[in-house]
Amino acid sequence: MELYFAPLSCSMATKIALNEIGESAATEAVSLKDKKTASGKDYWTINPKGQVPALRTREGAILTEGPAVLQYVADLKPDAGLAPPAGSLERYRLQQWLNYISTELHKAVFALVFNPKAPDAVKAFAIEQIPAKFAFLSGELKDRAFLLDRFTVADAYLVTVLNWCGLAGIDLKSYPVLAAYHQRLSARPSVAKAMAEDMKLAGLA
Ligand SMILES: N[C@@H](CCC(=O)N[C@@H](CS)C(=O)NCC(=O)O)C(=O)O
């Protein structure tokens, strides 16, 4: 398997999932600015959407879209419990979370804040959505360690997205439940390893 990633981006969630199942996939960094991989490949030819993550599966297929990639990785080792069994209500709950994180947090807020082409008013509008969304998340996580009953790929995705708060100028300390969740998950070996690796590659450690 081979993971195409960009340091500290949403692809970090896939690195966390791979660490959780103990799978050492080859990784290749992608420059999202010029769409070139570290070995000089034209990334458009690998993922025509030009986005990370993209995973070359064991069978050689290219799989894209974080929530699909995460579930693929989880299903490689069902015993690790990163995703409930396909077809169960809990699996749909997992998909509910993956979709929420992807559409309501990642794309609707952070992708706009970090987009250099987004006008300031658009960025401000994105940031204005945070209090309501983080209040909802805080309520959900108030009495639980994880989004579902145990650590799943949804947590891998959420901790990755919460990592971006500092860069986006959002003070996570204003949301104590989320700050505690983020701190707790950051200490998890699979997360700490992915984070340390990406921080180093991003020149931040
Ligand atoms: N819908 C895609 C979005 C992935 C995405 O937004 N990736 C960002 C990094 S976090 C990216 O590649 N941005 C570069 C671009 O959009 O050109 C997914 O869920 O995987």
* Contact yes or no for 100/106 (Cβ under 8 A): no
- Chosen CATH of 89-191 out of 1.20.1050.10, 3.30.2290.10, 1.10.630.10, 3.40.140.10: 1.20.1050.10
Whole-number pLDDT of residue 205: 84
Q: Is the CB of 66 under 6 A from ligand 1?
A: yes
Instruction: Report the distance separating Cα 197 and Cα 205, nearest Å.
Output: 9
Quick one: pLDDT at residue 24?
85
Burial class (CB in 10 A: 0-12, 13-18, 19+), 189: exposed
Nearest to 76 by CA among 135, 5, 17: 17
The alpha carbon of 76 and the centre of ligand 1 are apart by a number of angstroms equal to 23
* H/E run at residue 69: helix 66-76
Q: Which tokens in the block code for residue 59? A: 């069978």
User: In the chain, what are the domain boundaries?
Assistant: 2-81, 89-191
Residue percentage of the chain with pLDDT more than 70: 100
Does the Cβ of 48 fall within 6 Å of ligand 1?
Answer: no
> Is cis: bond before 53, omega within 30 of 0?
yes
Residue ID of nearest Cα to ligand 1 atom 14: 51
Position in ligand 1 atom list of the atom nearest CA 52:
12
Task: Quote the distance between the C-alpha of residue 61 and its chain's center.
Answer: 21
**Has residue 177 got a pLDDT over 90?**
yes
Is the pTM value of this prediction over 0.85?
A: yes
What class does CATH assign to 2-81?
alpha beta
